[in-house]
């Protein structure tokens, strides 16, 4: 899951870049870039969860 989360983060970055190329209008670009950041946030969440120790497991 760690690597899946990282891949999702990369996908979010390319979504943000696609916004620059696909949309000429500033507002559309901004919304699409924010969507890309949202995807990155999802990937970060997955990666953080994957690095957290399981409940009841020794955490040290």
Partner 1 sequence: MNTQAAQPLTDTVFALTLVLLLLAPLAIAGVALINTGLGRSRSAAQALLGNIGMIAIAAIVFALVGVAFTGNLPGTGGGAGHTFWLAGKPWNWAGAGPLLLGGLGTAAPLSQLALLFELLAVSMAVLIPWGSGADRLRLSAGLAIAAVLAAIVFPLLAHWVWAGGWLGQLGVNFSLGAGFLDGGGAATVHVLGGICALAVVWIAGPRQGKFPKEGLATAMPGHNAVYVVFGCLLALVGWLAWNVAGAVIWLHAPLAALPVTAVNTLLSAAGAVAATYTITRVRFGKPDASLCANGWLTGLVASCACAGVVKPIEAILIGLAAGVITPLLVEFFELALSIDDPSGAITVHAVGGLWGLLAAGVFASQPGQLVAQLVGIAALLGLVLPLVYLLFKLVDRFVPFRADQDGERIGMDLHELGGGAYPEFVIHRDDSYR
Among 1, 21, 42, 46, binds partner 1 (CB under 8 A): 21
Q: How far is the CB of 1 from partner 1 (least distance, A)?
A: 13
> Residues with Cβ < 8 Å from 55, sequence gap 6 or more?
none
Does 4 engage in binding with partner 1 (CB under 8 A)?
A: no
# chain residues binding partner 1, by CB under 8 A: 31
Q: How far is the CB of 36 from partner 1 (least distance, A)?
A: 5
* CB contact at 8 A, 49 and 1: yes
Does 34 engage in binding with partner 1 (CB under 8 A)?
A: yes
Q: How far, in Å, are 22, 27, 29, 45, 55 from residue 42 at the CA level?
A: 23, 23, 20, 5, 22
């Amino acid at each position: 899951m760690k690597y899946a989360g990282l891949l999702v983060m990369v996908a979010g970055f390319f979504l943000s870049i696609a916004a620059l190329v696909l949309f000429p209008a500033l507002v559309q670009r901004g919304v699409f870039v924010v969507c890309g950041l949202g995807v990155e946030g999802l990937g970060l969440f997955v990666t953080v969860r994957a690095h957290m120790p399981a409940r009841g497991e020794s955490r040290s």
